[in-house]
């Protein structure tokens, strides 16, 4: 990418995180987005971006392709499948991987991209959709310095905290795995607290509002706690992070722990809770609704 130019960014995946990132980037750079849902592409156009019918079309004029897809399978298809990014992204073009797919999967994509003459910057994100739209994300990076410098303006636009973990793709995924361990366990703990409050006949709103201010507080209790209360109303919380995402992520966590020979008993217990919720048909619901597995809306 030439110096002192504004990179053209292709954003592949305009879901809960991809769309707010794309719209925020569109305030500073030329952006073209792809998503299988036309409605999501229309929202990007309304925010000043462009749209494309395939990943290849989105990447045709791009210097950088940012992936905001669900998992390793979708990332592989978006990059190397029919109409994929690598068929049109310029030689030496950089792919930013923001999805959580695990260290080994990121290294596999890196090797395949090297074979096509492209570069991977492993940059998984954390912070949620609102912060994504404000450029207030935590981004952890595994990449060689030369590759990172090429996309630094894009990452700086999205991040309030950017930490370079190491020089290899996969290093960012490793730290994000630890992040997801903590996030998944904290959500499960918040769900248990709300469930116990209901079981004891306490007002869960008072419990959440009070404990969030003290030593027992956590980001997840303060953020998910009120949304858990909404799970028992006729207007449940907006879906910001699906339960099946945590099924995927806790699977990555426990798999990485197993390979490292590190026991993760709390992560394993939380993983089972998300799997139970998914088995009960809640996979597409906001992860806060996991509380209803522990404390159903109606009890015998």
Q: Residue 5 above 70 pLDDT?
A: no
Q: What is the mean pLDDT of residues 271-299?
A: 95
Position 86 scores a pLDDT of 98
Residues 25-47 have a mean pLDDT of: 98
Q: How many residues does the chain have?
A: 300
Kindly tell me if the per-residue pLDDT of 2 is higher than 90: no
Higher pLDDT, 190 or 240: 190
Q: What number is the average pLDDT over the span 270-289? A: 97
Average pLDDT, the chain: 96
Element (H, E) at 194: helix 171-199
Q: What is the pLDDT of residue 3?
A: 46
Global pTM value: 0.93
Instruction: Round to whole Å and give the CA distance between 131 and 142.
Output: 22
Q: Give me the pLDDT at residue 189, please.
A: 98
What does the pLDDT look like over 225-234, one tens digit per residue? Answer: 999 999 999 8
Q: What is the pLDDT of residue 52?
A: 98
Q: Average pLDDT for residues 51-62, to the nearest whole number?
A: 97
Q: Same structural domain for residues 67 and 17?
A: yes
Domain end residue (candidates: 133, 168, 203): 168
SS3 14: coil
Q: Is 159 helix (H, G, I), strand (E, B) or coil?
A: strand
Q: Are residues 104 and 35 in the same domain?
A: yes
- With a cut of 60, say whether residue 300 has pLDDT above it: no
Domain of residue 38, CATH code:
3.40.50.720
pLDDT surpasses 70 at 1? no
164 & 194 share domain: no
- Residue 190 scores a pLDDT above 70: yes
Domain harbouring 235, CATH code: 1.10.1040.10
For 127, the domain range is 9-168
300 belongs to a structural domain: no
pLDDT over 70, % of the chain: 98
Strands 125-126 and 137-142: antiparallel
Residue 4 has pLDDT above 80, yes or no: no
Same domain, 55 and 111: yes
Number of domains in the chain: 2
Residue 176 appears among annotated catalytic residues:
yes
Average pLDDT over residues 130-153: 97
Tens-place pLDDT, residues 71-112: 999 999 999 999 999 999 999 999 999 999 999 999 999 999
Question: What's the CA gap between 146 and 127, in Å, rounded?
Answer: 26
Q: Domain for residue 67, yes or no?
A: yes
Identify whether residues 53 and 76 lie together within a single domain.
yes
Last residue of one domain, picked from the residues 168, 189, 208: 168
Answer whether residue 160 is part of any domain.
yes
Same domain, 190 and 288: yes
Region 111-125 average pLDDT: 98
**Of 40, 176, 198, 224, which residue is the catalytic one?**
176
Cα dist from 278 to 51, 144, 244, 268, whole Å: 33, 38, 7, 15
pLDDT-derived band at 298 (thresholds 50, 70, 90) equals: confident
């Amino acid at each position: 990418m030439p110096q002192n130019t504004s990179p053209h960014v292709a954003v592949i995946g305009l879901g809960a995180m991809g769309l707010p990132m794309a719209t925020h980037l569109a305030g500073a750079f030329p952006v073209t987005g792809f998503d299988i849902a036309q409605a999501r592409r229309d929202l990007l156009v309304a925010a000043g971006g462009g749209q494309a019918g395939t990943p290849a079309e989105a990447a045709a004029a791009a210097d950088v392709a940012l992936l905001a897809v669900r998992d390793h399978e979708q990332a592989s298809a978006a990059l190397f499948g029919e109409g994929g990014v690598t068929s049109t992204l310029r030689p030496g073009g950089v792919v930013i991987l923001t999805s959580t797919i695990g260290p080994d999967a990121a290294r596999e994509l890196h090797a395949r991209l090297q074979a096509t003459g492209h570069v991977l910057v492993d940059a998984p994100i954390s912070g949620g959709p609102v912060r994504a739209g404000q450029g207030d994300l935590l981004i952890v990076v595994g990449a060689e310095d030369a590759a990172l410098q090429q996309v630094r303006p894009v990452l700086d636009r999205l991040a309030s905290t950017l930490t370079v973990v190491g020089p290899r793709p996969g290093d960012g995924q490793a730290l994000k795995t630890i992040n997801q361990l903590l996030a998944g366990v904290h959500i499960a703990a918040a769900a248990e607290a709300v469930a116990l409050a209901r079981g004891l006949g306490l007002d869960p709103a008072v419990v959440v509002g009070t404990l969030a201010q003290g030593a027992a507080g956590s980001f997840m209790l303060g953020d998910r706690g009120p949304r858990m209360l909404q799970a028992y109303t006729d207007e449940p919380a907006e879906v910001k992070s699906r339960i099946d995402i945590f099924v995927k992520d806790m699977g990555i966590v426990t798999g990485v722990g197993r390979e490292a020979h590190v026991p993760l008993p709390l992560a394993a217990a939380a993983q089972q809770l998300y799997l139970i919720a998914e088995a009960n048909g809640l996979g597409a619901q906001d992860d806060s609704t996991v509380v209803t597995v522990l404390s159903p809306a109606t009890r015998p």
